[in-house]
A and B are shown apart, each in its own frame.
Chain A
Amino acid sequence: MKFLNWNKTIGWLMMLLVSSCVEPYSPEVLEGPNSYLVVNGFINTNGPTTVQLLRTQNLKEETLPPAETNAIVQVESENGEHYRLYEAGNGNYTIDNLNINPASKYRLFIRTRDGKEYASEYVEVKHTPAIDEVTWEPVDNEVQLYVSTHDPNNKTRYYRWEFEHTWHYRAAWGTTLKYVNGRIELRDRNDPDIYNCWASEYSTTIELGNSIRLSQDVISKYKLLAIPYNSEKIGVKYSILVKQYALTREAYAYWETLKKNTENIGTLFDPLPSQLTGNIKSLTDPNEPVIGYVTASTMQQKRIFIDSKDLPRDWRTFIPRCTIDTMLLANSTPREYFEGGYVMPVYEVYPPNGGMSPIGYSYATVGCVDCRTRGTNVKPAFWE
């Protein structure tokens, strides 16, 4: 045996020791339908209440989560008052204003299309104090955003935040041209703006804070998120709307466990995740899992803007970069290039001797030219 081969054999043994072998694993239960009811939303006591009913999906499915339609959804109080929510499509059920008595306890009652009944526990109504401020700071090549609040009555203690951020961005190439029926034409004022767009995202992490170890109910600069200096989000102008909810201790525990359970899963030495029981139960079949935790509170929100001009001067903020190429009319026709819609003309190319008619067009992919591929060109109503 050659020495080299021998080496490989030992190497193979060591690989077993340190790297071992990993293969996909998919037990039968994961293939099953597993369609359990998911209840999202909360009982809003100072605004419209929206509850979304969805179904769980098999882990492998790639379709949108199925909505539960034609259900009866009611907010009920311990005293027997009840308010029916109206179906608003997509599994959403909504009611504008509830006449909530903060001293009473409320629950959510659901009867699905197939006649199964579900109800949450009766939950107390929490008053959410106003957000004091949403602030930001450039720290180590990123923008960190914080939320601060306090409850002068020291009664809230547990908080959850959600946010929706929106940012103004521009396409890599502004164009004066458009392709219409085999011809390149100049854009006019009736053509939509495809250079300036806005995109929005909702928070995907669970943000929780508490003041239990403080003598006063104060949350000072809870870090909500950080945006890297070269992110497109802060390339032009950025806005964040922070929503604040007061929680009960139990609800806080639920969200905290959910966060631990689902935000970091599975490496070799990770803790075992485990099931999470919300406060909604099936009245028809007590063993049927129902996902969700219903709370009742007011909601507070606050919006701020960050203009890229206010960021540190030495930051090279986001500049879209796209390659651009040229097509020559001598070799091809605009139809051949632009009919498919994958690329768009950016500007005309004139002959080097200064001729008057273009001999070709520079072009780039749609994503580089039309910002609507990733957002909307409709300026949000709140935009300053």
Chain B
Amino acid sequence: MAQFYRNLFLLIVFFSGVIVTGFAQQVNDPLVTGNYTNTTFRTFVEDLEAQTRFIFYFDPVVTDSITVDIQVTAQPLSKVLTQALLGTNLRFAISEEQQVFITSEKQVLTSLPDNFFNNGSKSKEVDNTQLADFYLPQQKKQKKAVSEIKLYEIGNAGGQSKANLAGTIRDANTGEPIIGAYVYIESPTIGTASDQYGYYSLTLPVGRHELKIRGIGLKNAKRQVLLNGDGKLDIDMEEDVRSLKEVLVEAEKDKNVSGLQMGMERLDIRTIKQVPTAFGETDILRVVQTLPGVKSVGEGSTGMNVRGGSTDQNLILLNDATIYNPSHLFGFFSAFNPDVLKSVELYKSAVPARYGGRLSSVLEVTTREGNKKQFSGAGGIGLLTSRLTLEGPIIKDKTSFLLGGRTTYSDWILKQLPNKSFKNSEASFYDINAHISHEIDSKNSVFFTGYISKDRFKLDADTLYRFKNQNASLKWKHNFHNKLYSVVTGTHSHYSYDISNEGNAVNAATLAFGIDQSNLQVDFNYFPNEKHTVDFGASSIFYQSSPGSLTPHSQESLISEDIIQKEKAVESAIYISDRYDISPRLSVSVGLRYSMFTALGPRDVYTYAPGIPKTESSMTDTVSYSSGEPIATYHGPEFRLSAKYNLTDNSSVKLSYNRLRQYMHMLSNTASMSPTDTWKLSDSNIKPQVGDQVAIGYYRNFRANTIEFSAETYYKWMQDFLDYRSGASIIMNHHIETDVANAEGKAYGVELMVKKATGKMNGWVSYTYSRTLARVNDPNTSEVINRGEYYPSNYDKPHDFTLISNYRFSQRFSTSLNFTYSTGRPITLPIAKYYDGSAQRVLYSDRNQYRVPDYYRVDFAMNIEGNHKVNKLAHSSWTVAVYNLTGRKNPYSIYFKSDKNKIRGYKMSVFGQPIPTVTYNFKF
């Protein structure tokens, strides 16, 4: 219905446009007289020009075969021309400026519709459409595919040789900004990618250019631009409906080679949705884990190790707010609702200077902004979870909202189980995303994001686990001018959990942990000229954590209340980086970040005798700090360097070095992200971690950029990350420094990847060889582990192979087959038993001396789409997937139990069977 009204409206506008033009013609219609017999068109025109003083524009090539045979006396010019051109395919138009345009097939519109250049006006879209309809009558249904042939004249000529062009790239259907769309001209090759606000800024030579724009899942677009001076050009792009499920990475077709960034992966939500997962639930983290250099901690876990880093060394950002727990139900589901996401970016090396605070990687998750044009929704119904997303404009083209929710009904299923202990179990979670974006004017926009996720898991009516993430972020983007914009971001992140034991009143108690962080950040992007892009800014984070509390439920409880002192700290940083394109072949980016961390009181801090390991026995004193008093301060520079050199048009070499500092540490000496992990802020007893990485890579594209090959190798040093002393106890430890050891680490590896982004058959193959080793060899700070030699860290998995392949049989039917193999992770085994004079004891091997069995898994999925009519009420699709097709029992956990004086090993596999799932997805 809406479509009908729109068409009707367009029709009316179209006719009114014609009427206006006709009226203009009457005013500018001088009378002519003449007798033409077999006159050439050129002579005819010259005569008319002489009579009317109008200037004629025409293409001699299409007119030179035409002769004119008419006699006229004091006839209006238009009538004369109509008569003269009768029977030819030529059309004419007369402008108010006394110009006559002769064109073949189509008439030229001599005046642009009102408000054509006024971006703020509501009627813009309509007018554009009118133009489009006028020129492209056979494509009327294609709503806004406007301006491809229109010449945009930008700026006032000022004699300069270069000018800046900037603007926002948006989705024509939803008005949402498009991230990572590539805007470029071909000769000379100058291009850039739109940033997270869809904003691009390009410095080009003045003159006429054909600007090409490409984006993932979007139709390729181009704009004719006549650049006189600095100016603005917003670009609307149309979604390529056919590519609903196709991985189309054309946007960055040659980014692999020509982009400066290395060690970075961007995944679009379309790509992510293709990869089959255990419960049919699209899971961004699990897809990220298939990328080279990223290893999964274990099956069913979303913890990841990036290039030999531990799980706490990843900065996970949701619209710039830190997410502490990116998973639901102990890692079986990711905490991100796929329907609200736009893209995921992972930086493994060459981390931009604006990020800091974690050693190994930055995972930036960006949500969509919501449809600015019309109300729409999407959802999915799966075996265990369902989700629904609604979005739409609040003020059309200015303000939009996006609201997404997801929940599980596994509770209900547990109740159906015959087993009594399951009947008393509960497992539920939900998450809600809300996003509002508002464009105040063409220079100012604000964005608000809210996120909340909650988990509840109860096993056998006894122990209740509850987890909570709460995040909010508010951003204000301000464009000073084409070349400079700023973003002010304020975020707050909260993560907490509690574990209550309710079974027995005598030991009923709750163990709780919580951390809050408030962050204020100002970022500037400055494009001084076409060779430089400068980013600079400052940020400050205030942390507050409650490292642990144990509270008895009632007077009967024998457990005494125990609360670990709260911790507070401030982490601040300033940064500047400059990307300098020295020549089309060579680019460098130089950045410096200086970060500073101060642990603050009020707190009582233990001091230890110097020169001997920190143990309970070497405690010397307790120092009390008053509120706000600095306990310890650490600071240091973080260097970020990267360079790219194009060897040929389709191959390049990139190099990077970066240093990062991390001031907080996750305490967990189990191999997986376990529910009792806590975060510890650095203080006078726990030093910050420092990591350095050098990486070098070779990139080459084949077959017109359809096949990308990349080879990256890296070497990493890490200092002062935490490893655990033998038998360390982590929970409710008031002096954790006595149970941890400052480890140094090194990691190195080679990552090879071949990616075919387009075509019926697409996907990627990656192989990684990597090692990550740790060493604890300072007898002055802790016990020495493995005689002070390097030992494989918990996540050292040298060989890793991943194949992600998609095959599209037709527009509506596609399949996906994935294969993953990796070396088993290291494990410390009990290798013998002995009698120590009083009891049987177990002798363990050196730390991480052995490995669990290798991991491999095959997954298969089918996507069946409904038809692709653009104007259906709802688009829907079915996904049928089988996770772990071969049913391999990959070890999740290996443990040993003493059983009647015998020690037996057990292997627990979480998904040891093929797991079929069916999910129904819809979009309206």
Does B799 interact with chain A (Cβ within 8 Å)? no
A274 to B619, CA, bound (A): 25
Does B685 interact with chain A (Cβ within 8 Å)? no
Q: A25-B891, A249-B617, A275-B845 are in contact. Are A59 and B416 (CB under 8 A)?
A: no
Q: Which residues of A contact B837 (CB under 8 A)?
A: 40-41, 52
Contact A13 B905 (CB under 8 A): no
Report the nearest A residue to B617, measured CB to CB: A212
Q: A10-B416, A30-B831, A38-B836 are in contact. Are A25 and B906 (CB under 8 A)?
A: yes
Contact A257 B727 (CB under 8 A): yes
A20 to B912, CA, bound (A): 8
Contact B906 A271 (CB under 8 A): no
Q: A59-B833, A260-B729 are in contact. Are A273 and B844 (CB under 8 A)?
A: yes
Q: Which residues of B contact A336 (CB under 8 A)?
A: none
Report the nearest B residue to A26, measured CB to CB: B905
How close is B559's CB to chain A, nearest CB, in angstroms?
A: 15
Contact B841 A258 (CB under 8 A): yes
Contact B617 A252 (CB under 8 A): yes
Q: Which residues of B contact A291 (CB under 8 A)?
A: 834, 836, 843
How close is A150's CB to chain B, nearest CB, in angstroms?
A: 18
Does B394 interact with chain A (Cβ within 8 Å)? no
Most buried by B among A11, A261, A274: A274
Name B724's contact: one of A20, A26, A56, A272 (CB within 8 Å).
A272
Does B781 interact with chain A (Cβ within 8 Å)? no
Does A99 interact with chain B (Cβ within 8 Å)? no
Contact A11 B832 (CB under 8 A): no
Contact B619 A276 (CB under 8 A): no
Most buried by A among B416, B831, B901: B831
Binds A, one of B107-115, B134-142, B417-425: B417-425
Quick one: CB contact mask for A46-86 with B, threshold 8 Å, 1 for yes?
00000010111111111001000000000000000000000
Quick one: CB contact mask for B423-436 with A, threshold 8 Å, 1 for yes?
00101000000000
A384 to B889, CA, bound (A): 61
How close is B904's CB to chain A, nearest CB, in angstroms?
A: 6
8 Å CB interface, B816-848 against A:
828-839, 841-847
Q: Which residues of B contact A260 (CB under 8 A)?
A: 726-729
Contact B889 A21 (CB under 8 A): yes
Number of inter-chain CB pairs below 8 Å: 223
Q: A17-B332, A54-B834 are in contact. Are A11 and B413 (CB under 8 A)?
A: yes
A271 to B459, CA, bound (A): 21
Contact A29 B727 (CB under 8 A): no
Name B850's contact: one of A18, A29, A204 (CB within 8 Å).
A29
Contact B907 A275 (CB under 8 A): no
Does A269 interact with chain B (Cβ within 8 Å)? yes
Name A36's contact: one of B787, B832, B904 (CB within 8 Å).
B832
How close is A344's CB to chain B, nearest CB, in angstroms?
A: 28
Name A265's contact: one of B669, B898, B901 (CB within 8 Å).
B898
Contact B844 A261 (CB under 8 A): yes
Contact A270 B670 (CB under 8 A): yes
Quick one: CB contact mask for B728-744 with A, threshold 8 Å, 1 for yes?
11100000000000000
Does A262 interact with chain B (Cβ within 8 Å)? yes
Q: A7-B416, A56-B843, A59-B903 are in contact. Are A253 and B783 (CB under 8 A)?
A: yes
Contact A269 B675 (CB under 8 A): yes
Does A267 interact with chain B (Cβ within 8 Å)? yes
Q: A14-B410, A261-B727 are in contact. Are A23 and B902 (CB under 8 A)?
A: no
Name A21's contact: one of B676, B727, B909 (CB within 8 Å).
B909
How close is B594's CB to chain A, nearest CB, in angstroms?
A: 37
How close is A355's CB to chain B, nearest CB, in angstroms?
A: 50
Q: Which residues of A contact B841 (CB under 8 A)?
A: 258, 262
Does A24 interact with chain B (Cβ within 8 Å)? yes
Q: A56-B843, A260-B726 are in contact. Are A21 and B912 (CB under 8 A)?
A: yes
A177 to B921, CA, bound (A): 84
Most buried by B among A16, A34, A157, A271: A271
Report the nearest B residue to A267, measured CB to CB: B895
Does B383 interact with chain A (Cβ within 8 Å)? yes
Report the nearest B residue to A21, measured CB to CB: B912
A92 to B660, CA, bound (A): 57
A276 to B674, CA, bound (A): 25
A56 to B841, CA, bound (A): 10
Contact B838 A203 (CB under 8 A): yes
A30 to B906, CA, bound (A): 13
A277 to B847, CA, bound (A): 11
Does A174 interact with chain B (Cβ within 8 Å)? no
Report the nearest A residue to B839, measured CB to CB: A204
Contact A269 B674 (CB under 8 A): yes
Report the nearest A residue to B615, measured CB to CB: A253
Contact B842 A16 (CB under 8 A): no
Contact B898 A17 (CB under 8 A): no
Name B896's contact: one of A14, A21, A32, A265 (CB within 8 Å).
A265
A24 to B891, CA, bound (A): 11
Does B67 interact with chain A (Cβ within 8 Å)? no
Contact B908 A212 (CB under 8 A): no
Contact A271 B724 (CB under 8 A): yes
Does A375 interact with chain B (Cβ within 8 Å)? no
A138 to B619, CA, bound (A): 35
Does A213 interact with chain B (Cβ within 8 Å)? yes
Does A341 interact with chain B (Cβ within 8 Å)? no
Contact A34 B831 (CB under 8 A): yes
Contact A202 B670 (CB under 8 A): no
Q: Which residues of A contact B833 (CB under 8 A)?
A: 56-59, 61
Does B347 interact with chain A (Cβ within 8 Å)? no
Contact B839 A205 (CB under 8 A): yes
8 Å CB interface, B756-799 against A:
783-787, 794
Does A22 interact with chain B (Cβ within 8 Å)? yes
Most buried by A among B332, B617, B794, B832: B832
Does A266 interact with chain B (Cβ within 8 Å)? yes
A265 to B830, CA, bound (A): 10
Does B897 interact with chain A (Cβ within 8 Å)? yes
Quick one: CB contact mask for B311-347 with A, threshold 8 Å, 1 for yes?
0000000000000000001001000000000000000
Report the nearest A residue to B893, measured CB to CB: A268
Contact B895 A265 (CB under 8 A): yes
Q: Which residues of A contact B906 (CB under 8 A)?
A: 22-25, 266
A18 to B414, CA, bound (A): 10
Q: Which residues of B contact A27 (CB under 8 A)?
A: 829, 850, 905
Contact B832 A22 (CB under 8 A): no
Contact A24 B904 (CB under 8 A): yes
Q: Which residues of A contact B889 (CB under 8 A)?
A: 21, 23
Q: Which residues of B contact A88 (CB under 8 A)?
A: none
8 Å CB interface, B702-753 against A:
724-730
Does B911 interact with chain A (Cβ within 8 Å)? yes
Does A228 interact with chain B (Cβ within 8 Å)? no
How close is B429's CB to chain A, nearest CB, in angstroms?
A: 12
Q: Which residues of A contact B829 (CB under 8 A)?
A: 27, 29-30
Report the nearest B residue to A7, measured CB to CB: B416
How close is A152's CB to chain B, nearest CB, in angstroms?
A: 20
Name B844's contact: one of A25, A26, A274 (CB within 8 Å).
A274
Report the nearest B residue to A261, measured CB to CB: B727
Contact B897 A272 (CB under 8 A): no
Does B910 interact with chain A (Cβ within 8 Å)? yes
Q: A205-B839, A276-B844 are in contact. List 17 more A-B contacts (CB 8 A).
A: A10-B416, A11-B418, A13-B384, A14-B410, A15-B419, A16-B912, A22-B906, A29-B831, A57-B833, A257-B726, A261-B726, A262-B842, A266-B897, A269-B675, A274-B785, A274-B847, A275-B828
Interchain residue pairs with CB less than 8 A apart (18): A11-B418, A13-B413, A18-B425, A20-B912, A25-B891, A25-B894, A30-B830, A34-B831, A55-B834, A56-B834, A59-B833, A59-B902, A62-B901, A65-B835, A260-B728, A266-B906, A272-B724, A274-B847
Chain A interface (Cβ < 8 Å from any Cβ of B): 7, 10-11, 13-18, 20-27, 29-30, 32, 34-36, 38, 40-41, 52, 54-62, 65, 157-158, 162, 202-205, 210, 212-213, 249, 252-253, 256-262, 265-277, 289, 291-292
In the A-B complex, list the 6 residue pairs whose CB atoms are closest, starting with the nearest.
Answer: A260-B727, A266-B895, A25-B907, A56-B832, A204-B839, A40-B837
